[in-house]
Amino acid sequence: MESENITIVVQPIEGHGANDSLPIFCKALTADLITELAQFKQFLIKSRSADILTSLQREGDYLVQGSITQLGNEVNLNIHLTRLRDDSIVWAYRNGGNITSIQQVQQQMIGNLVASLQQQLDLDLLNQIRKRNVTDFKAYEYWLYGFEALKKGSVTADEEARVYFTKALQIDPNYSLAYSGMSLSYFNEWSCQVWDRWELNQNGAKEWAMKALELDPDNYIANMILGRVLLFEHCFQESEIYLRKGLRFNRSDPFNLIQIAGAFIYLNYLEEAEDLYKKALLLNPEHEEKYHPIGAYIYFEQRDFEKSIKTGERFVKMGWVDYPVIMAASYFYEGNLNQSNHYWKQYLCNFSERISRDRVNLESEALQWMINLNPYRYKSAFQPFWDYICNKTGIVIIKPEEDLNISNSFQKEEHTWKLAYLGKEAHLPHSKGMLDIAYLLKNAGEAIKAEVLLGGQVRQTTVELTDKEALLNIKSRLEEIEALLADARDEDMNETESLKREYDQLTEYISSVLDNKGRIRVKGSTSDKARSAVTQRIRSALRKIEQVHPELYQHLSSTIKTGNYCSYQPEKKIDWDL
């Protein structure tokens, strides 16, 4: 059997009205719709103009059609989803006449529209495949069944989902979505704190996510899951890389948004977390119970304790194990010790039922567990409350220590290098770039001249790499881009990303042609040759490391800086066996 994706044919949105700019806007809105739908990897999106649609529309499973009508100051948007197999309209969307400008359609409605459309597509597909023999399923339909099982939120349902994902992989061993589904099944149990299987589920989520990313680096679910797993391993820089990839690859899936919002709390990106929480709620308002607990957590860390209580108190029984502590601490800061004590006891009850049966040291163990488990990059708003509990009960808290059983190695063994990081080992042949990296690891935090790493003098013949006029033009363009980015709207993602890429390219170029004192670098100078040679050696070594140890590559590529001066700058001290 083939693993055909579900194909959606998008017809250009029609415009009706006297506004001369309406046709141009309709083209832009159609392009936005296609771009947003393409973020969902389970769908194959095709665009067809109206004049060729009749003959070609049967190549798809669904057809999206729409129109914008402008009457005076009022704008109406209509969208239809048609199942092509039987020409049934399975979903229709209308804005209800509450939009007063066509710009508002693009700015406020496109995300909601796509999220609703995607959810309706999955719902209709589920209804259709339930009527068919299970042996006729495509890989995607097995994935959809498995994904539906995951929504039940139980260990049994997670195991059922894994059966469906396994069948999808039997049809197509390279089906990335099935690997991310397997990862998500373990992630569900791990993030919901099934404590007796914590390590198993954490490792399962990580391993399956990495397999999914090997097949499709743009898989947003796998990027999000791997980012969260790395966060709980306190690999903050690597975690942020994957989380931001997951966000960049899909900003229209409310599940993805709320998971990244929760992770951003620990990374102390509270304003971004709040924006993602609000957007997830806007995209899926019928399931507020999934989002308001995260919102309450965000407001708590923002020290807005009254708002935290107002947002999250209704959902205490639906939250995670230590969620009641958010309410307990908020009431403590608001001066209501009775309510604070009530929610602290509720947390102890949760802990005794789901984490530990030790009644003798329950309070001490519960507090220690919460402090050890939550991966705060910086100090949390909980700290004064934890101190209060310690003082009240006489509990002595032990600060979390690094796992002494996991050693990190970057060692040369005759003609090979032994690499170990996060409990995973790999080996690579010797190269000069590996020696450079080992030297930087040994001298962590220090700026090492490239000439020192190169270890020798080179003959000098000099030529300037640029001229002052060209440099002034580039600096002028950088200032122009900075102004454009400052004025850019969140909705202009494509333009913003393009500007950022251009900005990065220009700044990288300037860095390559200027020395550390701002002078134009000359090609052929000793420092220039050393910089070029060492940079090339290190990058070559990193590419080889990526092939055998992706986690170590992510860590080193984000912490090693190259140039006239090279350095290894980890966020926290890491002990290496060298």
| pLDDT at position 463 | 39
Least confident interval from 20-34, 173-187, 323-337, 434-448? 20-34
Let me know the angle formed at the C-alpha of 6 by 3 and 7, rounded to the nearest 5 degrees: 125
| pLDDT at position 132 | 47
pLDDT band at 184 (very low <50, low <70, confident <90, very high): confident
What is the identity of the amino acid at 226? L
Residue 204: Cβ within 10 Å count: 20
pTM: 0.58
Spatial contact of 280 and 257, defined as CB atoms under 8 Å apart:
yes
* Strand, coil or helix: 406: coil
Exposed / middle / buried, residue 485 (Cβ in 10 Å: 0-12, 13-18, 19+): middle
pLDDT band at 362 (very low <50, low <70, confident <90, very high): confident
* Residue tagged 């309070």 (tokens): 363
Please enumerate in sequence order all residues whose Cβ is within 8 A of that of 12, keeping only pairs 6 or more positions apart, or say none.
26, 27, 30, 47, 49, 50
| pLDDT at position 201 | 61
* Strand, coil or helix: 73: coil
Interatomic CA distance for residues 576 and 408, integer angstroms: 5
* pLDDT beyond 80 at 227: yes
Edge to edge, what strands does the sheet with 576-577 contain?
A: 424-429, 416-421, 408-413, 576-577
pLDDT band at 339 (very low <50, low <70, confident <90, very high): very high
| pLDDT at position 231 | 87
Q: Computed from CA positions of residues 174, 178, 179, 180, in that sequence, does the dihedral angle turn out positive or negative?
A: positive
* pLDDT beyond 90 at 416: no
Residue 498: Cβ within 10 Å count: 12
Q: How many CA atoms lie within 13 A of 561 on its CB side?
A: 17
pLDDT tens track for 555-576: 888 888 888 888 898 877 788 8
Instruction: Please state, rounded to an integer, the average pLDDT across all residues of the chain.
Output: 77
Spatial contact of 65 and 43, defined as CB atoms under 8 Å apart:
no
Tokens of 210: 């990495």
Q: What percent of the chain shows pLDDT beyond 90?
A: 14
* pLDDT beyond 60 at 185: yes
| pLDDT at position 401 | 45
The candidate with the shortest Cα–Cα distance to 119, out of 37, 44, 198, is: 37
Spatial contact of 524 and 458, defined as CB atoms under 8 Å apart:
no
pLDDT tens track for 38-82: 666 666 777 665 544 454 445 677 788 888 887 766 777 788 878
161 versus 131: which is more confidently predicted? 161
* pLDDT beyond 50 at 464: no
130 versus 83: which is more confidently predicted? 83
| pLDDT at position 99 | 46
Least confident interval from 75-79, 150-154, 176-180? 150-154
Spatial contact of 161 and 151, defined as CB atoms under 8 Å apart:
no
Domains and CATH numbers, the chain: 6-111 (3.30.160.180), 409-577 (no CATH)
